[in-house]
Structure 1
Amino acid sequence: KRVEILSAVQDAVPTLPDVDLGVMASLDTLGQIVDYLAQQNDSATGGGTSMPTETIELDEPPVTGSTSFGRHVLRVVEVPISEPVRPLSGIRGRRVHVVDGGSGIGDALVSALTDAGIDAHLADTASADRGSSVILLTGLRDVTDADESSAINRDAFAAAQQFSRGAAGGSFVVVSALGGRFGSDACTPTAAWSAGLTGLARTAAIEWSGTTIKSIDVERGSLSPDAIAVVITTELLSGGDEREIGLALDGRRYSVRTTPVDADPGATPIGADDVIVVSGGGRGVTATTIIELARASQATFVLLGRSELVDESPTHAAAPDDAALKRVVLDEAVAAGTTLTPNELSRTVGGILAGREIRATVAEIERVGGTATYVATDITDARSVADACVATRERFGSITGVVHGAGVLADKLIVDKTTDQFDLVFDTKVLGIRNLLAATADDDLRLLCLFSSVAAHSGNTGQADYAMANEVLNKVAVAERRRRGESCIVKSLGWGPWAGGMVTPSLKSHFEAMGVELIDLDDGAQMFVDEIASRHRDQVEVLLGGGVQPSAEAQRSAVAVGA
């Protein structure tokens, strides 16, 4: 939003000098912004006012030029310890708070670190003094079902908030139990629901300049708490600042890398007899992709969304756009003697426009040869999703595919995000796919496609909840592929930012300045169809579009919005 406002100011006052977006992201008040712009202007003309005190120091210059655009897959690679061995920054010479988080490992880790000369102690919370470090063991907690596993994400986010409110510098370490390869192969289906901790760490690495972030994933097997503590301590004291390291039982260290691989599509495996349930498919990017799949397959699509479809009055129907609708609705309220707040007016008009978009999507699917219907559904409510699936079978027959495209954003820094905002973003993705999987448990699915985001892989300013939720989707997809085998195409698509939807023209320019190429709507829709038809069915977790984001250090210089 600050970037959008600044862009408008620069359009209105073209004589203003260029400004550093990283500095703009750190300014909290209009007074600071005015002072900064004045200082920039003075600098351009030889003046000498002082810089604002709150700035973001980059460890390296922002990435410029085009990033790799297309299709990337994740590979697990072995990473030997570099010589000479180095401890993690922020471990030696600082107080280290070990948060057990219900794992039962805390005491053993404190003992192992203390024996190694580290000033470690057990802590109930992740609140830390300035310069102290925290090791969070919540991800090692034993869980018996998806509910308990998913709760690990919320507890870890709460701990990150505690840390961010008091600490600066030091290090923040999260430890998970996803099989020692970050859920890429040896993760259990239950553990996959806790996979968001890596997304949290990736976002923290962007938001917390000056703090060292590390994710450690442990293959637990039958290791005792003491043995796990030794494994973690060894990595902390010898693994340096490598940001993500998986530790296997055989002693090998692993990390995840991306590599470009073409989709190599064949014939579209979905046909006219298929019935596909699509969350979030009535509007936006998901709708664009489903229209293209309808063109290629002639299948039946049941679109689930939050918006209730209501018939428009003739006066509303005559208003062609947002501005005209607002005038009509406001005039109606005045005539009726009622008062509408700006939020109420926006909600009313937004509902009307959403209905138009949904009807247009259904009509376009029908026009290109598919069959479509829309069902108002709360994707986070198990009963609502189950009822929608029952109605689908009664009308169209067995469900053969699920596409989970629903998603919302509530961008705030970790330190500022509310519980309600976290729940809204996280539950739409994670509880949504849980409900869809439960409601189709008895269906013989041939397609399971989840819309994830590059934010899960790279982190993104203000989107810790979104990165965490999408990383859970990624690992749930991997687990589902392993469970379902060749009979079902399973994909988790980590989309980069699209040239449409929430990406405004000013943000488009901002992404381009970072070297992040946006996905054209038509190109993205074809990518989606090609991915479903890809012969690489074993490649479940795929990054599409501007797949490899700039480094965390470069992203700190921007207020970025994810896919």
Structure 2
Amino acid sequence: GWLTARVNGVLTTPVAAVSVPTQHRTVAPVGGAARPGVAPTRMLPALVPVAAPPGQPAAALAGATLLVTGLGPVAESVVEQLRSYGATVRTGTVAEPGTVDGVDGLVLLDGLAGGPAPLLPGAFGLIKQVLVERPRYVLAAADTNAGAGADGLRGLFRTAAREYLSTAVRLVAVDGAEPADRLARQIVDELLATDEVPVVHRGGGARSAYELVPASLGPLATGGAGPAGDGAAEARAIGLDRDAVVLLVGGARGITSWFARALASAAGCRIELIGRTPMPDGPEDPALEAATDAVSLRAALARQGIASPAEIAGRAQAILAGREVEATLRELREAGAQVRYHRLDVRDAQATRRLITAIHGEYGRIDGLVYAAGVIEDKLIADKEPDSFARVFDTKVAGARAVLGALDSLSGVPKFVVLFGSVAATHGNRGQADYAAANDALEAIGARWAAGSGNRCLTVHWGPWAPAEGHSGMVTAELSREYGRRGIALIDPEEGALSLLSELAWGDPAVTSVVYTASGW
């Protein structure tokens, strides 16, 4: 606020008179000033008809310079139509796009070529390179029948549309079985469309878009344990008892630990936690033990003579993460569960297969698996480096593929597989292009696995959860207050965990994607 006032020439106080506090601001305890959590609303994604807007006349393309990437008859037909309207068209591929200097738009058609290779994360670099020049158009087309090629594009384009309001950003999902000239006509029509729908489906003469529709679980859910219950009725309905084995990948910290506690209380089952966080290898330094939050811990580390702020921050984060894992294990055992922790990077497909196979071999069963691995490195697209995008995307996506691949090799199947996604995938979210894309890809991967294996696989796109002491997840107390300022409610952790139990108990097994979030999104 002070900087804004200075820039605007409003502040009259001399710089020397401005008092800068030298002590750290005390963060109010979670549950105090932080925004309280509420029970989440259940919503299902549905394709609904969307009328085509009048659109710009074709003459609007005259004189525009457009880069069209992709090979095949559809790309050739699009190029021909654009040139017939007076546009200058450059051609290339995502891998070899040529120069993008001076282009007014990108039409990315590589997803229609029929190749199995996913466009993301590799295509992000080109899309960013064009977007930062603030062109008139950035459009991509994807074949809904082409497998993994378009995984994550919906989340990326939803976010790009939020960050580049002056650019027409759109992903067009088409039926690749239709004739090339018809598909080209649909793509050019969407280029000229003037509505602000970032993801459009075209097929069979219809135009549709996604909408989240509130959907109750029905009378069975309301007649179960209820919001204040312990989940025992749900656990019985799922088929979980003390002998059941549930794997939680990325589940020793954050919001997943709440679901682990709900499982422990409701079923007392065997819980196998898998995560990347190393466990503390001995008693903690007494000088650090009394520091219970990040601020005091960083101060304690600084007093030990560590000079680098980056090293201090990294050490503090590692210590807090290790403490959280220990706390989760302790809480689960106190709740009656049999629990173990395994350190693993799930991006290592071979190590993941070995661990899951070993757990299955020991017990002769795996009854359920919850996959919640992921990292965030939030930045606007203009500031996001391709290697950072790939790191966030691959941690979520490559890990999921490794876990599902490991399950394919087992005899017997889990009663359920749950993939933890994010509401950022369904709406887009400024600064989270990589995270939105990764969670959108997660949903597509899970749906294909369910269809191919016949097993139940559900992606749950969560809204932000309220932080709780010791298990803040990705929402700090400060961020919680910022959400409150913006009118975004947070999910109460206990309500969120029980919602998932209810979903598994009473939800339609054929549903592969559901959204649980509070108000404001």
TM-score > 0.5, shorter chain as reference = yes
**2-structure distance, mates of 1:87, 1:521:** 48
Residue pair 1:274, 1:400 contacting (<8 A) in 2 also: yes
Q: TM-score, normalised by structure 1?
A: 0.76
**2-structure distance, mates of 1:417, 1:68:** 34
- C-alpha distance 245-168 of structure 1, shift in aligned 2 (>3 A): same
SS at match of 2:282: coil
Q: CA deviation at 1:287?
A: 0.9
Q: TM-score, normalised by structure 2?
A: 0.81
**1-structure distance, mates of 2:12, 2:371:** 48
Alignment deviations for residues 139-185 of structure 1 (CA, whole Å, 9 cap, x no partner): 223224xxx22xx01233112111023x2241111111124xxxxxx
SS at match of 2:109: strand
Residue pair 1:79, 1:254 contacting (<8 A) in 2 also: yes
Q: CA deviation at 1:228?
A: 2.8
SS at match of 1:358: helix
Q: 2:267 aligns with which of 291, 294, 297?
A: 297
Q: CA deviation at 1:95?
A: 1.3
**1-structure distance, mates of 2:59, 2:254:** 44
Q: 2:158 aligns with which of 196, 199, 202?
A: 202
- C-alpha distance 37-402 of structure 1, shift in aligned 2 (>3 A): farther
- Residue 281 of structure 2 aligns with an amino acid whose one-letter code is D
- C-alpha distance 157-88 of structure 1, shift in aligned 2 (>3 A): farther
Partner of residue 95, structure 1: 64
Q: 1:177 aligns with which of 130, 143, 149?
A: 143
Alignment deviations for residues 339-373 of structure 1 (CA, whole Å, 9 cap, x no partner): 55333233333323222211221222222232211
Residue pair 2:49, 2:209 contacting (<8 A) in 1 also: yes
- C-alpha distance 536-325 of structure 1, shift in aligned 2 (>3 A): same
Identity within the alignment, % = 28
Q: 2:208 aligns with which of 237, 244, 254?
A: 254
**1-structure distance, mates of 2:61, 2:124:** 25
Partner of residue 19, structure 2: none
Residue pair 2:111, 2:149 contacting (<8 A) in 1 also: no
Q: CA deviation at 1:311?
A: 2.7
Q: 1:216 aligns with which of 169, 172, 193?
A: 172
SS at match of 2:396: helix
Which consecutive unaligned segments of at least 5 residues does structure 2 have? 14-36, 225-233
Q: 1:377 aligns with which of 323, 337, 344?
A: 344
Residue pair 1:496, 1:519 contacting (<8 A) in 2 also: yes
- C-alpha distance 114-547 of structure 1, shift in aligned 2 (>3 A): farther
- Residue 216 of structure 1 aligns with an amino acid whose one-letter code is V
Partner of residue 32, structure 2: none
Q: CA deviation at 1:233?
A: 2.5
- 2:25 paired with 1:70: no
- The alignment's C-alpha RMSD in Å is 3.0
The aligned length equals 470
Partner of residue 399, structure 1: 366
Residue pair 1:302, 1:374 contacting (<8 A) in 2 also: yes
- Residue 494 of structure 1 aligns with an amino acid whose one-letter code is H
**1-structure distance, mates of 2:170, 2:449:** 28
Q: CA deviation at 1:131?
A: 7.3
1:74-473 matches, cutoff 5 A: 74-82=45-53, 85-87=54-56, 92-102=61-71, 105-123=74-92, 125=97, 128=100, 132-144=104-116, 148-149=117-118, 152-165=119-132, 167-179=133-145, 191-192=147-148, 194-221=150-177, 223-237=178-192, 241-248=196-203, 250-264=204-218, 265=221, 267-268=234-235, 269-272=238-241, 273-313=243-283, 315-316=285-286, 318-322=289-293, 325=297, 341-443=308-410, 444-473=413-442
**1-structure distance, mates of 2:256, 2:406:** 21
Residue pair 1:153, 1:197 contacting (<8 A) in 2 also: yes
Partner of residue 490, structure 2: 518
- Residue 202 of structure 1 aligns with an amino acid whose one-letter code is R
Partner of residue 529, structure 1: 501
Which consecutive unaligned segments of at least 5 residues does structure 1 have? 1-5, 7-15, 17-31, 43-65, 180-187, 550-563
Residue pair 1:94, 1:133 contacting (<8 A) in 2 also: no
**2-structure distance, mates of 1:202, 1:287:** 29
SS at match of 1:256: strand
Alignment deviations for residues 70-89 of structure 1 (CA, whole Å, 9 cap, x no partner): 1111011233434xx32389
